[in-house]
């Protein structure tokens, strides 16, 4: 049951949610609000990931990276996994509505619906832009975090959403380069499958430049200070170096270096946001 929820993916979603709450509060949110928001977000994301495993079990069986998942090995039936996932979603909605607010509950469950219906059931198997559009689901947790604190949305959380949205393609395409043969054998048209590694790396460079621009835009829209802006520029410059190097080398090894850094990048960027706010307002 734990494996169905993809805990490692949830970890990163919760990091961005929590740091966003600090920015929205301009300080430290109440401990109870943080716990309630993260719990509801984890339940909703876990349910979405479990449904994804139910739908994609045929693909997971073909790919080396995923062939040990519970529904492939027979450790669990698709029916049991689906019931588990739906229960998680119902509990997530009820918990967020009761202990946080209705807006955060609606956003969290809407992200699941988008991930399942738009990405998993529709785009993943037919479009090379699958992760570009479908990645929006992974950007919703920052909206949940902001809504949990303020009970409304505005331009600042929308730009934060854009940061995650634009970060997702270079992050995921780098991993897809490593597992290109897996995706090809499974018939999933990820960018590295339908075009050359060089072309994919070129797209990664473009998205990285856009990412840096949007993180700088957030400094203005979110009224951030020098710590955040300096961190965004330095972290973004390093990201761009990795992206350009991937474009030059065009190797899976270079792609994985970028993939690993992309996780560090996002973690440190959001930590810088929270740190900037705490230094100036707490």
Of the pLDDT bands very low, low, confident and very high (cuts 50, 70, 90), residue 281 is confident
pTM, 2 dp: 0.95
CA distance 157 to 221: 9
pLDDT for position 135: 87
**Residue 177, pLDDT above cutoff 90:** yes
- Reported as a single tens digit per residue, the pLDDT across 183-237 is 999 999 999 999 999 999 999 999 999 999 999 999 999 999 999 999 999 999 9
**Residue 274, pLDDT above cutoff 90:** yes
61: tokens are 């069986």
**Residue 282, pLDDT above cutoff 80:** no
Q: DSSP for 87-124?
A: HHHHHHHHHHHHHT-HHHHHHHHHHHHIIIIIIIIIIT
- % of residues, the chain, pLDDT over 70: 100
CA distance 78 to 50: 10
120: tokens are 């998993």
The answer to whether 200 touches 163, Cβ cutoff 8 Å, is no
- Reported as a single tens digit per residue, the pLDDT across 123-154 is 999 999 999 999 899 999 999 999 999 999 99
pLDDT for position 65: 87
Q: Averaged over 233-245, what is the pLDDT?
A: 98
The answer to whether 43 touches 95, Cβ cutoff 8 Å, is yes
- Reported as a single tens digit per residue, the pLDDT across 64-94 is 889 999 999 999 999 999 999 999 999 999 9
Helix (H) or strand (E) run with residue 183 in it: helix 180-186
CA distance 186 to 179: 11
Q: By C-alpha distance, which of 30, 274, 24, 52 is closest to 144? A: 24
Q: Averaged over 86-108, what is the pLDDT?
A: 98
- Reported as a single tens digit per residue, the pLDDT across 11-33 is 999 999 999 999 999 999 999 99
């Amino acid at each position: 049951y734990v494996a169905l929820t993809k805990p490692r993916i949830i970890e990163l979603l919760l990091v961005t949610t929590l740091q966003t709450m600090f920015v929205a509060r301009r300080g430290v949110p109440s401990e109870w609000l943080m716990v309630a928001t993260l719990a509801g977000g984890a339940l909703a994301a876990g349910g979405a990931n479990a449904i994804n495993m139910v739908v994609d079990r045929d693909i997971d069986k073909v790919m080396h990276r995923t062939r040990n998942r519970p529904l492939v090995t027979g450790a669990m039936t698709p029916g049991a996994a689906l019931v588990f996932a739906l229960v998680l979603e119902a509990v997530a909605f009820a918990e967020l509505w009761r202990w946080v607010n209705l807006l955060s509950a609606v956003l969290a469950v809407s992200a699941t619906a988008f991930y399942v219906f738009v990405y998993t059931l529709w785009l993943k198997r037919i479009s090379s832009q699958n992760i570009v559009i479908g990645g929006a689901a992974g950007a919703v947790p920052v909206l949940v975090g902001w809504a949990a604190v303020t009970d409304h949305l505005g331009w600042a959380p929308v730009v934060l959403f854009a940061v995650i949205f634009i970060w997702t393609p270079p992050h995921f395409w780098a991993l897809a380069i490593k597992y290109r043969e897996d995706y090809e054998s499974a018939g999933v048209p990820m960018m590295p499958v339908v075009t050359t590694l060089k072309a994919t790396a070129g797209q990664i460079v473009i998205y990285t430049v856009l990412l840096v621009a949007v993180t700088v835009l957030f400094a203005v829209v979110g009224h951030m200070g020098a710590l955040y802006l300096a961190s965004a520029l330095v972290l973004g410059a390093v990201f761009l170096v990795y992206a350009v190097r991937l474009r030059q080398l065009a190797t899976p090894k270079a792609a994985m270096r970028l993939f690993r850094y992309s996780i560090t990048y996002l973690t440190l960027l959001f930590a810088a946001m929270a740190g900037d706010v705490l230094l100036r307002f707490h």
